[in-house]
Amino acid sequence: MEVSVKIVETLRGIVSVTQVCAWLGVSGATYYRWRAAEEHPLDGLVEQVRELCMQHKFRYGYRKITALLRREEYTVNHKRIQRIMQQEQLQCRVRVKKRKTTGQPAYVAEHLLKRQFQADAPMEKLVTDITYLPFGGKMLYLSSILDLFNGEIVAWRMSDKQDTAFVLDTLDQLPALSGTVLRSDQGSVYTSQAYQEAVKGKGITMSMSRKGTPADNAPTLIVSFHTKV
């Protein structure tokens, strides 16, 4: 990193920064990030740590963030990254949830939608998902339900907690229906007994994507796009 910055600084004025970066095999953005890190090493590192934490939705701890920084040619110690994450309140926020032994297994619905993402009438085929929204130093969650007939968001709810009550609040916005299929992933909030009972109470038939089959989740991309715009 230091050598590359010096080479660019030496040659700039003779050839363009873009050309030198091309010779070195790095992007212009990478060069300017490296230069900023040299001029303000602590500020640049803090910003990079924050960017990585937000990019990975606060799922990684300080050891993983340290490994990612080293891949980008940062020479950093994991203890320093740990201190930065503690000071900036960027710690990993994903906790392993302990499943209660109620004797009632999670309900996984059949894959009824079968990638048929076109609907002939309103409220015939719906898809639901949770979108992660980094906000300052914390994460917000947006639960939404989209109608595949016209791409309309027919129900949504925002919260700082991702639990069953959160998705139930979204579902409660729907009227009583008949012949409607609602697709979701196999997340614990959707396979919970409470959610399944609420879906049946609305007259809705549940469909779930299969694990390890990304193509089943194409509507999820639609939901995420609409909710982030």
The residue among 87, 115, 135 that closes a domain is 87
Q: Are residues 76 and 144 in the same domain?
A: no
In a domain, 116, yes or no: no
Q: Are residues 79 and 170 in the same domain?
A: no
Q: Are residues 68 and 141 in the same domain?
A: no
In a domain, 108, yes or no: no
- 8 Å CB contact between 112 and 121: no
- Bridge partners, 179 (sequence order): none
Give how many domains the chain has, as a whole number.
2
The residue among 29, 59, 87 that closes a domain is 87
In a domain, 166, yes or no: yes
Residue 11: what pLDDT?
A: 61
Q: How far apart are CA 181 and CA 197, in angstroms?
A: 15
- Bridge partners, 152 (sequence order): 147
Q: Is 203 left (phi over 0), alpha (psi -120 to 50) or beta?
A: left
Expressed as residue numbers, the domain containing 176 is: 125-228
In a domain, 54, yes or no: yes
Q: Are residues 29 and 81 in the same domain?
A: yes
* Cα 176 to chain centroid, rounded: 31
The residue among 87, 117, 138 that closes a domain is 87
What's this model's pTM, rounded to 2 decimal places? 0.52
Q: Are residues 129 and 219 in the same domain?
A: yes
Pairing of strands 180-184, 204-208: parallel
Q: Are residues 77 and 129 in the same domain?
A: no
In a domain, 101, yes or no: no
CATH of the domain at 129: 3.30.420.10
Q: Are residues 129 and 223 in the same domain?
A: yes
pLDDT by residue for the chain (229 residues), tens digit each?
444 556 666 666 677 777 777 777 777 677 666 666 555 455 567 888 888 888 888 888 888 998 888 887 777 888 888 888 888 788 776 655 555 544 455 788 888 887 777 889 999 999 999 988 888 778 899 999 999 999 899 999 999 988 999 999 999 999 999 999 999 888 889 999 999 999 999 999 999 887 766 555 555 554 554 544 4
CA neighbor of 66 nearest in space, from 83, 81, 53, 51: 81
Q: Are residues 220 and 139 in the same domain?
A: yes
Q: Are residues 81 and 165 in the same domain?
A: no
CA neighbor of 144 nearest in space, from 120, 123, 126, 121: 126
